[in-house]
Amino acid sequence: MHPIIISGSSRNDGNTTRVVEILSNHSGWKYIELNDYQFSYYDYQHRNRDDQFLPLMRNLIADYDTFIFATPVYWYSMSGIMKVFFDRISDLLTIEKPLGRKLRTKKMAGISASGGNDLEDLFWLPFRESAKYLGMDYLGDLHVKMNSDHDDLALGMEEEIIRFIEKLKIRYAQNHFRQHL
């Protein structure tokens, strides 16, 4: 398993980054912050093809087999930058088809963070269905509830993150085994 955590938040020092750092520290997995890259909204005329999205995707697809998307919950949905990133995957279905086909061998998972614990399963629909559409294996997801003071994880959530890491490793191994039967 060679995963990368792709964090998409409006700030690089917020709760989602705290969750990503804990996930990375316990797993050894690297992460990137989408805020560190310049890319724009999906454009049907592909006038933005020279921004940093396609080089970023070339590197991610070449170097990693599992994408773990990390996002805060904004208005019951993924963050804006994460949505733009997902929309730009359309470039891999139109102007970069050979690159897009390589996603068929990849895996996907998701992790979210917010102050509430009422996240419904529908939140994960865009992640699961995108994985399915792209031919990727969806390994699972986790929502992390932050304390109201935004400094610490809610009681027991660090242990939940550790269990999530183990769950991803098990699902990865199961999916990998099935593909090689």
The DSSP output letter for 136 is: P
CA distance 33 to 81: 10
Which 3 state secondary structure label does DSSP give 137? strand
pLDDT in tens, 43-87: 999 999 999 999 999 999 999 999 999 999 999 999 999 999 999
- For the cut 90, the answer to whether the pLDDT of residue 88 exceeds it is yes
Q: How far is CA 138 from CA 28, 80, 84, 141, 158, in A?
A: 21, 22, 20, 9, 22
Cβ count within 10 A of residue 151: 9
- For the cut 60, the answer to whether the pLDDT of residue 151 exceeds it is no
- Structural fold of domain 3-179: Rossmann fold (3.40.50)
Residue 136 has a pLDDT of: 97
CA distance 57 to 63: 10
Instruction: Mean pLDDT check: name the lowest of 19-33, 55-69, 113-127.
Output: 113-127
CA distance 176 to 29: 19
pTM of the model: 0.93
Average pLDDT, the chain: 92
